[in-house]
Amino acid sequence: MSQWEELRGRIAGTIVPMTTPFTDSGEVDLEGVRENTRFLVESGIKVISPLGSTGEFYTMTREEHWAVLKAVCEEAKGQATIIAGAGHSGSKIASQLAAMAHEAGADATLICVPYYLYDGAEGVYQHYRSIARENPGIGMVVYANQEIMKDLSILERLASEPNIVGVKDATGDYALYRDECVRFRDRLAIVGGGSMQHYLWGWLWGSPGYFCSVANFKPEVELGFVTYLNEGNLQAATTIVEKVELPFFEIAIKLGWWRTLKATMDIYGLPGGSSRLPNRRLTPEEREELVAWLEEIDLMP
């Protein structure tokens, strides 16, 4: 088994996209990053992903990016597979971030489609290929988060790059998720993006894992969900989605995703912290509304 096949096998189960806590004065709370990493690892999470969209990577300097990488890698200490965000609209800068992840000790990078402009399918293909070839020592997970990734010829060409090991499907297109699994599951880890409800569908088609967010404050919910799926207990897994995830998403969408997730972590005694503009923190009135809703859906700690 090659190192890339072995890595691909580890990209499975509950994958947690980590938040990045900031202080009220706007500094990165590195001790908070370390505390959250320890919390996830000690809770049994085996795959973590710092510095992605949930981690507000786009608000951070190169120096802060490095500091967060080092903190997560040092705290995980080989206990969890680390898929570090290395997204940027510029291929050269994304490649430099991938190199930084490798130096820090991450196992793989998560790289999004250029989020400003790109030159069609060929431009997206060359974006990923160039980063993979310039960083042959670290794995890559392609973040399929834009319409262009519905062109599966891009993944077909990228699948031949040995260190491209997976795809995070966050398109919301269930038929595409199915087609990716059927076509590439023997070559790539096709993982779901963003929710248990999405993964219910992917699991049926051989998707080995999914990115989640509730696990940032209550990992036992997500771990229990995966256990039920692996036992074939779809009814119990679906009940978790209905009773926990959907109600939490309802309030998070109303109040703002990052703000709600971080505020909930604070309520759980974890370093959720502030965000940086253009993201904001919940107002006192919004926090009261969140607490009342968490009590109603039995999610208060």
- Please tell me the pTM assigned to this model: 0.96
Dist CA 232 CA 238 (whole Å): 11
Average pLDDT over residues 243-257: 96
Q: 10 Å Cβ neighbour count for 159?
A: 18
In angstroms, the CA 87 to CA 67 distance is 16
- Residue 117 has a pLDDT of 82
Does any domain span residue 41? Answer: yes
In this structure, the number of other CB atoms found within 10 A of the CB of residue 254 comes to 12
**Residue 293 belongs to a domain:** no
Q: What is the CATH number of the domain that holds 215?
A: 3.20.20.70
> What is the pLDDT at residue 37?
98
Residue at 284 is within a domain: no
- 170-208 pLDDT tens trace: 998 999 999 999 999 999 999 999 799 999 999 999 999
210-248 per-position pLDDT tens digit:
999 999 999 999 999 999 999 999 999 999 999 999 999
150 falls within a domain: yes
Residues with active-site annotation: 143, 168
Q: How far is CA 92 from CA 104, 154, 188, 189, 290, in A?
A: 19, 19, 24, 25, 41
Residue 84 domain-assigned (yes or no): yes
Instruction: Find the domain containing 142 and state its range.
Output: 3-232
Provide the number of structural domains found in the chain: 1
In the three-class reduction of DSSP (H, G, I as helix; E, B as strand; rest coil), residue 151 is classed as coil
174 contacts 146 by C-beta, under 8 angstroms:
no
